[in-house]
Structure 1
Amino acid sequence: MTNILDDYALVSPLRYRNNWLKLAIVTFGLLMGVTSQSFVTPLAIALCMSFATVRFGKVPAGFYLKVLSAPASFVILSVIIIAFFFGSGAEIFGFDVFSYRLGVNTGGLEMALLVFARTLSGMSCLFFLALTTPMVELFSVLKATRLPDSLIELSMMMYRYIFVFLEVAWGIRYAQSVRLGYKDWRTGLNSLAMLATTLFIRSWEQGEKIFVSMSARCYDGRLLFFEEKRPIRANELMLTGTYFIAVLALWYMTREFSIF
């Protein structure tokens, strides 16, 4: 149960900042990144959010890059496809494959850079929120938005059961590994099938135990959320306002920017 996002969110100094302010920053970054017509603004947002996560959120840079690289690998593959098969304009470079011309033109490269920058910006904003705000506090914020209680409580129970599944699955896999359950491909496949079957039964039993324990604590179908009041400080408001103005100015100045 180590190296998960909530572990870093629980010990982050930004955890004790106002959650609504962090949501406003993330929402603003997402909107500016998606609506920008140039890759410059989303790239600047990604750099700012990454710096804030590592510098102010005290998230190790190595772990942050590792987390960011997982979805980035899929993005890079998409960007390569866009660069080669979309867009128009003068050809930058190309080559022949079985008498078929593959090349990257100016329009395709700009489109690929824009998609990459937008995706990187969105991931940086979401990782900033995930690595600085525990999920329990996000549920409290959602409850304050007057969303249906059943939706929020169902989401919270689903989130809780993720760790129930992980705990049971890791325990079973460790027991199988010490008994050479994965010594070869055929044995590993059989062990994996047994793990899936046992995981379902164990999780069902664990769910019943949780329900009994909640009932013993007077659970009446509604979950209570505790939200600590954290006022927005003047320096935080000034820093956020400066960031908003700078991004808006960059978005306006680069709306017609082109590298070709």
Structure 2
Amino acid sequence: MTYILDDYAILSPLRFRNNWLKLAIVTFGVLAGVSSTSPFVPFTIALCMSFTTIYFGKVPAKFYFKILAVPAGFVFVSVVIIAFFFGEGANYFAFDVFGYILGVNSQGLNMALLILARTIGGMSCLFFLSLTTPMIELFAVLKKAKFPDSFVEIAMMMYRYIFVFLDVAMGIKYAQTVRLGYRDFKTSFRSTVMLGASLFIRSWEQGEKLYLSMNSRCYDGKLMVYDEKRPVKMPELLLTGAYFTIVLMVFYFTNGMSLI
């Protein structure tokens, strides 16, 4: 339950910067990375966002690259499949698998690298936002952006009770473990089923308690969210403008280029 994203976001110096500016930076990075036909733009965005998160956001580099490696590992499987099964042209290398030639060509490899770059660039933008902005402040931004109240409040409750039920699940699993509930496959399967059933019952009970407690406090369908005003300072505008300029220049000069 320690070392979750919100822990680093609360302690980050970038937490006290304007949330709308951070959203603009993230939105720009995601759109530029997806729109680019060259992997150079997403890689540039990933480099800038990673440097900002680690250097200015004071997020430990080891933790940052550890969480970035999770989506990168998933996309690596897709990249390998795309490199082998998509594209046309001369093969760089090939294998004969039961009479079927399985190889990697230039077009398929470039497509795979572009998807890998877009994924890393997009995840770097999202991690920049999640590691520098607590979720409660993002909910305040959504509320100020005129999102439906019911949507924002349900999201707030879901986020809150993820950790409540995670704590309950960890407690139940620990109790099962000390009673040798996971000593073999059959016992582990039975313990997992019991854990899921217990969590379902606990969530049902917690929902009833939440409903009663909110009604007893005269809940009228709206939850108040504190939104602190943080003006944008000139150094922040200059750094943001420099970042936008670098990305746009790379976008313009590398449009259509490939790594291979």
Same fold (TM over 0.5): yes
Q: What residue in structure 2 maps to residue 79 of structure 1?
A: 79
- 1:216-256 superposed Cα distances (whole Å, 9 cap, x missing partner): 44422210010011110100000000110110011000003
Letter in 1 for 2:162: I
Aligned alpha-carbon RMSD (Å): 1.3
Provide the rounded CA distance (Å) in 2 between the counterparts of 1:160 and 1:208: 16
Pair 1:70-2:70 in alignment: yes
Q: What residue in structure 2 maps to residue 46 of structure 1?
A: 46
Q: What residue in structure 1 maps to residue 4 of structure 2?
A: 4
Cα deviation for residue 196 of structure 1 reads 1.0
Checking the alignment, whether the CA contact within 8 Å between 1:164 and 1:203 is kept in structure 2 is no
Provide the rounded CA distance (Å) in 1 between the counterparts of 2:199 and 2:95: 51
Letter in 2 for 1:129: L
SS of aligned partner of 1:113: helix
Checking the alignment, whether the CA contact within 8 Å between 1:168 and 1:203 is kept in structure 2 is no
Equivalences, count? 260
Cα deviation for residue 258 of structure 1 reads 3.0
Q: How does 1:1-260 map to 2 (within 5 A)?
A: 1-260=1-260
Letter in 1 for 2:23: L
Give aligned-pair identity as a percent: 65
Provide the rounded CA distance (Å) in 1 between the counterparts of 2:84 and 2:201: 49
SS of aligned partner of 2:92: strand
SS of aligned partner of 1:89: coil
Checking the alignment, whether the CA contact within 8 Å between 2:39 and 2:259 is kept in structure 1 is no
Provide the rounded CA distance (Å) in 1 between the counterparts of 2:210 and 2:168: 14
Letter in 2 for 1:8: Y
- 1:31-62 superposed Cα distances (whole Å, 9 cap, x missing partner): 11000010011011011111111111111111
Provide the rounded CA distance (Å) in 2 between the counterparts of 1:62 and 1:49: 15
Checking the alignment, whether the CA contact within 8 Å between 1:91 and 1:105 is kept in structure 2 is yes
Letter in 2 for 1:187: T
TM-score for both structures, normalised by structure 1: 0.96
Give ranges in structure 2 of 5+ residues lacking alignment.
Answer: none
Bigger shift: residues 156-165 or 127-136: 156-165
Give ranges in structure 1 of 5+ residues lacking alignment.
Answer: none
